[in-house]
A and B are shown apart, each in its own frame.
Chain A
Amino acid sequence: DVKVTQSSRYLVKRTGEKVFLECVQDMDHENMFWYRQDPGLGLRLIYFSYDVKMKEKGDIPEGYSVSREKKERFSLILESASTNQTSMYLCASTTGTGRTEAFFGQGTRLTVV
């Protein structure tokens, strides 16, 4: 079974803190994605990556950055957390062809206070 693991289920951080969300997949997938999910807005793409050290902006990259130093790991960084970044964050991965379904991590519910 494909496994996508996010480092934390729940996080509470203070405004202005630098926050790291980690995601690891064990199926040698080339593509990895970070989404946030908010009520009524659905999943919105923050960043994605096709390969190690490659990254592409999604629909809402402002206030975020990413890092992919190893194929299996894709990190999302909130440079200076703000209350409007309180959300559910979901990591996903797919194979290199990208023509198959996305596999999701269990999600990280981040609260910024």
Chain B
Amino acid sequence: RKEVEQDPGPFNVPEGATVAFNCTYSNSASQSFFWYRQDCRKEPKLLMSVYSSGNEDGRFTAQLNRASQYISLLIRDSKLSDSATYLCVALDWGTGNQFYFGTGTSLTVIP
């Protein structure tokens, strides 16, 4: 069983749509969570950290539900430039500061 599971998609949505990604993690000791964005043939880059209270950055909203061990990312008013793969990441401070990556969810925003 993978530590972090994501729906790989692909998600194909029209411009302006709202799209939501979910991810679940199995290690209840994970303390920090992130969403990364990865463009084709490029390195992952931090999109946003995820806090228990939920956090928002412009059109992006991240939520964490520790009881259910899932993380979500909501993208509102999708832009063509949002097309990428989104990686869900959990960090366990205890086991050598190990990052656990989901395999990513592919998003294509269509004109």
Chain A residues within 8 Å of B, Cβ to Cβ: 31, 33, 35, 40-43, 45, 48, 50, 56, 88, 90, 92, 94, 98-107, 109
Measured between beta carbons, the chain B residues less than 8 angstroms from A109 are 41
Q: Which of B15-54 contact A (CB under 8 A)?
A: 31-32, 34, 41-46, 49
Stretch among B55-63, B65-73, B75-83, B95-103 lining the A interface? B95-103
Chain B interface residue number, banded: 20 to 34
Known: A98-B91, A98-B93, A101-B34. A106 touches B43 (CB 8 A): yes
Across the interface, do B99 and A33 meet the contact criterion of CB distance under 8 Å? yes
Candidates A56, A105, A107; contact of B96 at CB < 8 Å: A56
Interface SS, A side: strand
8 A-B pairs (CB sep. < 8 Å): A42-B2, A42-B87, A42-B102, A42-B103, A43-B87, A50-B97, A104-B43, A107-B43
Known: A41-B103, A101-B34. A90 touches B43 (CB 8 A): yes
Measured between beta carbons, the chain B residues less than 8 angstroms from A90 are 43-44
Chain B residues within 8 Å of A, Cβ to Cβ: 2, 8, 31-32, 34, 41-46, 49, 87, 89, 91, 93, 96-99, 101-104
Closest to B104 in A: A42
Across the interface, do A31 and B97 meet the contact criterion of CB distance under 8 Å? yes
Known: A42-B104, A43-B101. A104 touches B96 (CB 8 A): no
What separation, in Å, do the CA atoms of A101 and B36 have in the docked complex? 9
